[in-house]
């Protein structure tokens, strides 16, 4: 497990909680619009030791409520013993995942190490590999979706990029999730693509236009029948 970064406070990453965010190095996907290319394709250039992070969390006890673990794809390398130590300090834990490691996710759930799960659903089924940038085992993605649906606190979300997404593809995504879950999932969020001038995995996205609020609202209206709650995030 390589801890590449630590955001010491966030009020937006864990709904309703004051949290910090731990960034792990490495990812199984290669989404061209990724804002964290150093975590995905870059060499690990040093970050934080586990004990350093745990010491920080001890000092912040009573001021922070939760710890968000993200990446990259954290389930590639996350040390569950490290998470156990976080839980022993009294923190809630949120995991961000792309859904490609369902067995690891199940283990984390079974061990009682996660309180909130956020899964990035890249697109509808037929476009998944195009957005993810790699060959994807969709059976694993579907297994994770069903598992998360049966978890108490969760959300699904999609980063909207106009070259990939439109009303038809987002409606297809909603129908797909309904078929997998056998019902409407609880929460779904749309996040508009924004250029990261600091660099992205695919440099062509530096010419991609930011997604408008109008387009996000159009997609929200088109997909709201498939979820109990649909929201838009900056």
Give the tens place of pLDDT for each residue, 141-165.
Answer: 999 999 999 999 999 999 999 999 9
CATH classification at residue 149? 3.20.20.70
pLDDT at 146: 98
Task: Classify strands 19-24 and 3-10 as parallel, antiparallel or unpaired.
Answer: antiparallel
Cα dihedral value 47, 53, 59, 62, nearest 10: 120
pLDDT band for position 19 (50/70/90)? very high
Residue 40 has pLDDT above 90, yes or no: no
In which domain, by residue range, is 44 found? 3-233
Token pair 């659903």 in the structure block, residue: 121
Question: Count of domains in the chain?
Answer: 1
**Distance from C-alpha of 225 to C-alpha of 234, rounded to nearest angstrom:** 22
């Amino acid at each position: 497990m390589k801890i590449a970064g630590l955001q010491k406070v966030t009020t937006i990453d864990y709904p309703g909680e004051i949290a910090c965010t731990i960034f792990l190095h490495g990812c199984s996907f290669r989404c061209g619009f990724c804002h964290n290319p150093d975590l995905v394709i870059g060499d690990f250039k040093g970050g934080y030791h586990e004990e350093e992070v745990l010491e920080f969390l001890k000092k912040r006890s009573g001021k922070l409520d939760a710890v968000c673990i993200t990446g990259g794809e954290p389930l590639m390398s996350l040390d569950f013993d490290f998470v156990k130590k976080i839980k022993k300090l009294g923190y809630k834990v949120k995991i961000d995942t792309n859904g490609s490691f369902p067995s690891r996710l199940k283990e984390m759930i079974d061990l009682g190490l996660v309180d909130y799960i956020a899964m990035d659903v890249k697109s509808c089924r037929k476009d998944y590999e195009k957005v993810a940038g790699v060959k994807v085992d969709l059976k694993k993605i579907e297994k994770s979706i069903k598992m998360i649906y049966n978890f108490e606190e969760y959300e699904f979300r999609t980063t909207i990029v106009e070259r990939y997404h439109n009303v038809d593809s987002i409606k297809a995504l909603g129908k797909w999730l309904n078929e997998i879950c056998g019902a409407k999932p609880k929460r779904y969020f749309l996040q508009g693509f924004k250029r990261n001038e600091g660099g992205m995995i695919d440099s062509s996205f530096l010419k991609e236009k930011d997604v408008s609020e109008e387009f996000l609202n159009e997609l929200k209206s088109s997909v709201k029948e498939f979820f109990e709650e649909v929201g838009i995030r900056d």
